[in-house]
Structure 1
């Protein structure tokens, strides 16, 4: 359980700013690649941590993240060839799709294949390719930089006004966080909403 979500949210806003800066950076170094990979992984972990701790509102946790899916070519990715994504996946043909927040995070955190990409025309950083160990035999996802920035900013700037306890089908309790609008809607139906602070 996360006792204080604010530092995690603050970090997401910092990551969004850094990724935005990197998207217009012309001179690229090994350090630049490290910073991008670190920020992508940190943001995915922070979002998943907030999600699992019930610190993201219902509205935000149900959002879909736009990505592009590329089918595998049939060559099995492993620790030696996983960087050869142009041979492992059909990068010429991509299908626009969306991932729920948990799957978005898991593809990045558990990525076997991971590559930072630059736009062919401008050469500027425009996103990352990633596929989790679980899905890498079938597909690779391209995560546009703007999708990642938008997710970080949306969750990082979210203002939680209250929370509520729910029970799943097995009877286990879990926490949901609520925005101001969600608190007002809950008050109409569930008068026991309380403030987390």
Structure 2
């Protein structure tokens, strides 16, 4: 059993660190890699809390948000040696939108084959270009930092009012849900 309160604290800390700054410093490649790692770890935390079943309410499992995606080009031949050439493989001139749940976003970030943390002209974090190995031959996803922060806060602030334990004879175990 995990105590979700302490796991959720990391989510709020990351939101603060991702938020726009007035005059952000230049950062090194190492600092960028550390931020990428922190994003992945926070979404691992979210997935762990979701899989625990009793740590989050049903609202989290039902939560959806809109993200942008770029479809793979018909003639794309994506391999492990050339997957960084985004403009060659994805139709970056034809962004589309898709409504996805938190689990989908977790899977893209946790199982990423492609992961680029993008900063804007003011050097603030802007979005993440990402796709899992499973999705890379379908689309490249653009998840805004605003969306990432919103999800982190929704999960961090999620409080259960009650936990329901229902014994399932077929499973021989309890099914747990939260309200």
**In which range does the TM-score fall when normalised by the shorter chain?**
0.7 to 0.9
- Matched residue count: 176
RMSD: 2.4
Residue 158 (structure 1) aligns with: 158
- Whether the 8 Å contact between 1:13 and 1:156 is mirrored in structure 2 is yes
TM-score normalized by structure 2?
0.86
For residues 68-123 of structure 1, what are the alpha-carbon distances to aligned partners after superposition, in whole Å with 9 as ceiling and x for unaligned?
A: 0110124233322222222221112111222111111001111111111233x545
- Whether the 8 Å contact between 1:70 and 1:94 is mirrored in structure 2 is yes
| Whole-Å separation in 1 of the counterparts to 2:103 and 2:76 | 27
Kindly state the Cα deviation for residue 35 of structure 1 after the two structures are TM-superposed.
2.5
SS at match of 1:81: coil
Residue 146 (structure 1) aligns with: 146
TM-score normalized by structure 1?
0.79
| Whole-Å separation in 2 of the counterparts to 1:12 and 1:123 | 22
Correspondence list, 1:4-19, <5 A = 4-19=3-18
More displaced stretch, 86-95 vs 157-166: 157-166
Correspondence list, 1:1-197, <5 A = 2-21=1-20, 25-54=24-53, 55-73=55-73, 74-119=75-120, 122=122, 124-166=124-166, 171=171, 173-178=174-179
| Whole-Å separation in 2 of the counterparts to 1:129 and 1:23 | 24
Quickly say closer, same or farther: Cα 1:76–1:112, change in 2 above 3 A: farther
- Whether the 8 Å contact between 1:23 and 1:145 is mirrored in structure 2 is no
- Whether the 8 Å contact between 1:65 and 1:104 is mirrored in structure 2 is no
**Unpaired segments ≥5 residues, structure 1:** 179-197
SS at match of 2:19: helix
**Unpaired segments ≥5 residues, structure 2:** none
| Whole-Å separation in 1 of the counterparts to 2:58 and 2:142 | 26
SS at match of 1:159: coil
